Amino acid sequence: MAGSQEHGVGDEEKVQSETRQDVAGTQERDSEKGLGNTHLGDGQHAQIDPAIASRIAANVDDFMTLVNEANEANERERGMKLSYAFKVYPKAIAWSMILSSCLIMEGFGTSIVGSYISYPPFRDKFGIPSPDGQHQIPASWQNGISGATNVGEIIGLQIAGVLSERFGYRWTIISALGAVTAFIFFPFFAESLTVFLVGELFQGMAWGVFQTMTVAYAAEVCPVPLRHYLTTYVNLCWIIGQFISSGVLVGLVNRTDEWGYRIPFSLQWVWPIPIGIGTYLAPESPWWCIRRGYKERAEESLKRLARSSGFTQRDADAAMALMIYTDEMEKQLSEGTTYWDCFRGIDLRRTEIVCLTWLSQTMCGTAVGGLSSYFYQQAGISVEDSFKLGWGQNGLNAVGTIATWFILNRVGRKTLVFWGMVVMLILLIITGFMGIHTPPSTAESWTAGTMVLLLSVTANFSIGPVVYTIVSEIPSTRLRAKSIILARNAYNAINIAFINIVSYRQLSPIEWNWGPKAAFFWAGTNIIFTTWIFFRLPETKGRTYAELDILFENKIPARKFASTKIETLLQGTQGAQKEQAEIITSNAEERTVA
């Protein structure tokens, strides 16, 4: 027995020798292929803290096997080609797309509500006469309805955090689908704005669940090469829902009775049953299973997410080891999984990044594009033309999101977001100048409308979809759902407290009536958040979750995230492996003597 252990130690020394040689080799490779906290050669390196590795070793049965298999899976993901990922993981793609389709329903519903402020049948039913002779929904009610939706989403997000931790992503989504089916009755049968507002509050609670669970699930069921496709697809689902709603509104815009606005609401009942069936049949997130200690269930999920022909038992064992190792590492870095833990230690920086990135999405000027139909009308464009432009805008938004799939992994998350913000700033300034003359000429109105359209397309080519990738990659795996919830709630809170109040009053003819000049205001907020992105947003392209944990643990500055080389997991844990090998040898010798 002792001889066997000595042989194991000899193998370990051989592994250490080989990995030391590999360190030298990695210094000559592309900077995106490695991690460390020392300056070697011409680049910065990062590796796991040896003390943390030792604590992990003390908590697992066979650390040497675990870290070797985890390293194998980590290197497999880093070196995986996109074509191979599509070949082996089509089932993961399909299941993620099914769950993400919840946001098609949500995008449809929120777009309907947002468009009703400028929709003739709804305005005639619930509006009051304005100076131009038309009926308008008072800004206070516009703000109240939007605020109720956001409050509902905040409540729903918090509920999702509690339910998902205990019951998993699938059952949390299924419960929200059942709830939203019932909540649709409120706005459908509403005879007053009060009932309509209550309905939007309740619907917002279900929508809040979808906003978090779909993103977290997409981030946890696929390998690194597919991650940005499935997370940005969440944004595309929003746009698909908005596109469908715009088409429905265009088709019903000339209908003057109450069914002109009730029919769009009734179409929401089409979605929950098929989505619910698909969600029930989907495998649970393997990362959630690991966090709950359901290792057999996690392995089963892994196998259901991949084709058996390209995903062997060895691949499954290695993937399990990487998840367990990452989970144990995060336990050592941050013991808890509560909301408070998101604001402690290194997780505070991660929380800042996800929250301010999502705030950037709504403060960059997209508030103008989000009210496109209303804006077009206030700029002097006819009601019919405004809804047609809004429909075309949603189609272009979809093209913009799809385009990010082909460029995001080439230029990186930060680069695409930053330059998208800069382009939006320019478009906002041009839009503002179109409102200098009051009222604007026909040419100025159409120019302003076109700038808003281009602004929306630019947002959906950059920060719109990429924010979903960033907020799913930045948090630790143990705090991912709660971090996304906090970030989305920051987004909702700023909408309630600021954007809904300001944006409607800026454009309403019975309030401030700024028209296109409102774009100057949003140009100012754009500058603030563009500056933050430049200095504080790190680049996460091509990193596994274990590597991101190491980068944050080593406090690597945002500007050096892309260039910092990361040691393989084997090299970062050599000391802990040696300690465990010595313990095993010592125990074996004691048993031999006994």
Angle (CA) 123-129-130 rounded to 5° is 100
Paired tokens of 299: 């392995």
SS3 of residue 203 by DSSP: helix
pLDDT at 43: 59
- The rounded distance, in Å, linking the Cα atoms of 148 and 391 is 26
In this prediction, residue 239 carries a pLDDT of: 92
Spatial contact of 103 and 214, defined as CB atoms under 8 Å apart: yes
d(CA 354, CA 216): 13
What gap in Å lies between CA 93 and CA 221, rounded to an integer? 8
Distance set, CA 476 to CA 306, 459, 468 (Å): 24, 27, 15
Give the 3-state secondary structure of residue 46: strand
Which residues, at least 6 apart from 573, have a Cβ–Cβ distance to it below 8 Å? 48, 50, 53, 56, 57, 63, 67
- Using CA atoms, how far residue 562 sits from 146, 397, 414, in Å, is 39, 29, 10
Distance CA 109, CA 200 (A): 10
pLDDT tens across the length of the chain (594 residues): 334 334 444 444 444 444 334 433 333 333 333 333 444 344 578 888 888 888 888 888 888 899 999 999 999 998 999 999 999 999 999 999 999 999 999 999 888 887 777 677 888 888 887 766 677 788 788 888 888 998 999 999 999 999 999 999 999 999 999 999 999 999 899 888 999 999 999 999 999 999 999 999 999 999 999 999 999 999 999 999 989 988 888 888 778 788 888 898 899 999 999 999 999 999 999 999 999 999 999 999 999 999 988 899 999 999 999 999 999 999 988 767 889 999 999 999 999 999 999 999 999 998 887 556 666 666 667 777 777 777 888 889 999 999 999 999 899 999 999 999 999 999 999 999 988 887 777 778 778 888 888 999 999 999 999 999 999 999 999 999 999 999 999 998 998 888 878 887 887 777 888 888 899 999 999 999 999 999 999 999 999 999 999 999 999 999 999 999 887 877 778 778 777 777 777 777 777 776
Q: What is the pLDDT of residue 15?
A: 40
168 Rama sector, left if φ>0, alpha if ψ -120 to 50, beta otherwise: left
pTM for the whole thing?
Answer: 0.84
Is the separation of the CB atoms in 225 and 82 below 8 Å?
yes
Q: Which of 123, 136, 110, 113 is nearest to 258 (CA)?
A: 123
